[in-house]
Amino acid sequence: MDGGPSLDPGSPRVRFGAEMRRLREAAELSQVAVASRLGCTQTQVSRLEKATRTPSRSDAERLDRLFKTPSSSFFTRLHESIVSQSRTPAWFRDWAEEIEPTALVLRSWDPLLVPGLLQTEAYARYVLSQEPRMTPQDVEERIEARVQRRQILDREDPPLVLALIDAHVLRRPVGESKVMLGQLDCLLEVAQRPMISIQLVDPRCMPGLLGAFMIAELPYGQPHAIHADSSAEGEISTDSSLVASIWNRYEAIRRWAYPDHMSLKMIEDARKEWI
C-alpha cells in the first residue's frame, strides 16, 4: 500500500504502464534490464508499470526504440496524452510528479504562506482563487493536484519533511477566520507525525527575504534537487552550484528558527487570535 490515489484503468498513464509491462515480459526482459536502457533504477521501472510514476518524454522515446512499437511513437503519443491531462502547471510538473514522490527528505522555506504540502483545501482554494485570470475550474483542478501531492505524507514510507515557515505567516489573513483556524489546526496535527518537523522562523531573518524554496534529497545517490519560487515560473535544478547556494541559504535561515516545541506553542497562541 503506497497511499496513492485510485487509478483509472483507462487512463493514458495506466495504459502506458500496462503496455510497458506486456512488451517487457514478451521480450523476456527483467525490470533491471529495462532500467539500464532507460537510464533509471529498477524501482522507477516498477513504478512506471504500476502507473505510480509519470513517464518523461525521454522514457517514452526510449521505450518506443527498445520495443520497436508501431510507427515508433506508441509510448510518445501516450506521454503526450498524460501531459495534456495533468492538472499540475507544466513548469512544476517534474517536481510534483517525479522529484517529490521519490524524495527521502524534503526541506522547505516559506516566508509568505503555509507550504503547499501542508495547506488545507480551504486555505489553498483561497490562495489560488486570488491568482490573476484563474477561473473557478482552474482553481478546482489545482486543488485536486495539490490533494494528490499531499498523499505522499500518508504513505507507509513518507519522506522526512522539514518545514521552515516565517512566523508572520500565522497572522497573515488568508480567507475568513475559519480558514485560518482550520489551517493552524492542520499544522498542529501534522506536526505530531514523527516524519514532519515544523519550525517557525524569526521575521527578522534577512537571508529568507529572497523567496521560498524546497530542497529534495533523493535516493540511489542521485544529486539533490531544488525548486526556487519566482513571481513567474519557479526554477527546478540539480546544478551543483545552485543547489549549494540554496543549501547555504537554508542553513542561514535555520539559524533563525525556533525549536519545534516553541514553534508549536507559537502556533497554538496564534490560533487563539483567530477564534
Pairing of strands 225-228, 213-217: antiparallel
Residues in the chain with pLDDT < 50? 1-6
Res 68: pLDDT? 87
pLDDT digits (tens, 9 = 90+) for 112-153: 999 999 999 999 999 999 988 888 888 888 888 888 788 889
For the entire predicted model, the pTM comes to 0.70
Contact 180, 274 (CB under 8 A): yes
Q: Which domains does the chain have, with CATH numbers?
A: 12-85 (1.10.260.40), 90-273 (3.30.870)
- Please choose, from the candidates 116, 167, 176, the residue with its C-alpha nearest in 3D space to the C-alpha of residue 142: 116
- 232-250 pLDDT tens trace: 567 888 899 999 999 999 9
pLDDT of residue 74: 86
DSSP per-residue string spanning 201-246: E-TT-GGGGG--EEEEE-STTPPPEEEE--SS--EEE--HHHHHHH
| Amino acid present at 42 | Q
Reading the block at residue 265, the C-alpha cell is: 506553542
Question: Hey, is 108 helix, strand or coil?
Answer: strand
d(CA 96, CA 102): 10
What pLDDT, on the 0 to 100 scale, is given for residue 5?
A: 40
